[in-house]
Structure 1
């Protein structure tokens, strides 16, 4: 009888130890915490996962650099970065779903198609994951924050003023945009249309075309526009692939000084075109700081910290404004990139 009692006691103790170990294992990594929200990365860090429109292009790689810098300076953040290899909404959705399954703390998306992304963000929120957009918005989604690079109005006006200044305030121009459903690009174009009509009555936008995120296609479309409109004197590249694309088309056609271009281009990609005059200027912002701000905001959400009307993010971002009504965190004003300041940026 004594031997049976001891055997039973040992077995009971082993079962208790195994149960305790099982409970401990369940609450590590990306598993759900006590509130049902993801517990984040091992060691108590918050996993902030950024899904760009397209991985591998200089613009989003610069955002990734900024996010990595935030990971180094913020003690409780793990920055994750993965996007589709083509600007494809379905592929982007699959990546977001993989981060949902992984149980990250915050998912940030620069959506190719805001309408198709909205249901997926709702899925993430239902799992207790904080959801954000950055660079381009999904305004009809459940996102908690949109990290905006600059105000829509100021970007649209800066593009228009830069081009029309080179064109002498008059003439015909066309726009080579990228994704046809991209919220940020379409909102800037609306500003350009209204601002051109009100401030430059002798100027006219004659066409808007869409090249995806394909620089070679942008060049071909710009060449086609110049052929279709022989009196065209201006081209806008609405994104970081079409900005160098339209400048290249003008260079190829030997129309430097006859057809002027501006665009939203990264400094190093635009540098040779700014130098030879095929581009009159590039409108942008500090892309690395946009990535830093994105990681910081994702961490604030994961920590449950409310954003203030003015936020001290870092020494380089001492006063970032927050609009609670639109849930928009604003990086700052757009920058004009010229041949004189392009080398201040390494992307």
Structure 2
């Protein structure tokens, strides 16, 4: 979903033709290698250790969101002269993700960055990486109780959760019942946003209420079915939130299929290209996100700083587009910036 998020980095690959909107169904490839096609264009293998190896393990490989992060990482690799390694499970599976992380530990990468599906089960694996002398970070999704030295955050938890509720309240007329279709039950960023949504709804929108929170994994079709079931079970439901980049288009599709555009309103955390048709026809009112390619670039940059043993400053110039990225030493959070509101008017300005 911490769309985490959320300036624009220049895309180095054309993503749309190669990406799918839901998780792949093939078996997980658990052998992470630096030669994978996902790392193409990120620089040749280090000669004599000249290039730092920065590895990123997303929650899920093969969906537009993380492929956009990968594009940003590849752009950073060219600019920073690092080797960018990228591989995740092809299903949102914590055990498969941990196996990929262990493979990168065996490869002795310089920095290992993970967006954990399950922060608690990932924490011991990150400890293994640290014990092996590898610098450890998280990005997009945090594992705050782990040994990670920094979390590269797409936007603040408070900012994302509040923006979701505010955008939905606007189209619901500040009243009515809504439901949330989330993804992974253990994802720290998604659960953090939901907690904020509950708080903001109760304190700011007294005439609105959340009737249910359900979990569709990273499966857009399942999100559509769950949203359909929620509307059938709650005839007075007037709002739906898709909490991640697969459930956001999923809930909008459910409203469209049910012929309830203008009667049930949706917002979510979807990538611009995947949400553009729904924003255009009104089945979605807004997408809350961030510049995902910038997040990927920042992730790679932070990985290099860690590999080089550099201390992050309170304000950091990453490149000419990200000139004031803040770092909070107390929480160890490197913050990309405030969330973006994507509508039918600006969705076409993004390349992913």
Please classify the TM superposition score into its range, dividing by the shorter chain length.
0.7 to 0.9
State the partner residue of 1:331.
Answer: 336
RMSD of Structure 2 on Structure 1 (CA):
1.0
TM-score, normalization by structure 2: 0.87
- Partner deviation per Cα, 1:124-145 (whole Å, 9 max, x = no partner): 0000000000000000000011
- Give the secondary-structure state (helix, strand or coil) at the position aligned to 2:106: helix
Correspondence for 2:235 among 230, 239, 242:
230
State the partner residue of 1:285.
Answer: 290
- Give the secondary-structure state (helix, strand or coil) at the position aligned to 1:173: strand
State the partner residue of 2:244.
Answer: 239
Correspondence for 1:67 among 47, 67, 73:
73
- More helix per residue: 1
1:42, distance to aligned residue in structure 2 (A): 2.6
- Partner deviation per Cα, 1:26-63 (whole Å, 9 max, x = no partner): xxx9xxxxxxxxxx933411100000000000000000
**How many pairs were matched up?**
308
Correspondence for 1:345 among 330, 334, 350:
350
Correspondence for 2:325 among 290, 306, 320:
320
Correspondence for 2:157 among 132, 152, 161:
152
- Partner deviation per Cα, 1:99-151 (whole Å, 9 max, x = no partner): 00000000000000000000000000000000000000000000011000000
* CA radius of gyration, larger in: 1
What are the residue-to-residue correspondences of 1:36-55 with 2, within 5 Å? 41-43=46-48, 44-55=50-61
State the partner residue of 2:137.
Answer: 132
Distance 1:302 1:134 in 2: 16
State the partner residue of 1:21.
Answer: none
- Give the secondary-structure state (helix, strand or coil) at the position aligned to 1:159: helix
Q: Is the 8 A contact 1:41 1:104 kept in 2?
A: no
What are the residue-to-residue correspondences of 1:1-347 with 2, within 5 Å? 41-43=46-48, 44-75=50-81, 77-347=82-352
Q: Is the 8 A contact 1:219 1:242 kept in 2?
A: yes
Distance 1:227 1:343 in 2: 33
TM-score, normalization by structure 1: 0.88
Q: Is the 8 A contact 1:134 1:147 kept in 2?
A: yes
Which of 41-50 and 249-258 deviates more? 41-50
Which 4+ runs in 1 deviate beyond 3 A?
Answer: none
Q: Please, which runs of 5 or more residues in structure 1 have no aligned partner?
A: 1-28, 30-39
State the partner residue of 2:38.
Answer: none
State the partner residue of 1:7.
Answer: none
1:343, distance to aligned residue in structure 2 (A): 1.1
Higher relative contact order (CA 8 A, sep 6+): 2
- Give the secondary-structure state (helix, strand or coil) at the position aligned to 1:270: helix
Q: Please, which runs of 5 or more residues in structure 2 have no aligned partner?
A: 1-33, 35-44
State the partner residue of 2:17.
Answer: none
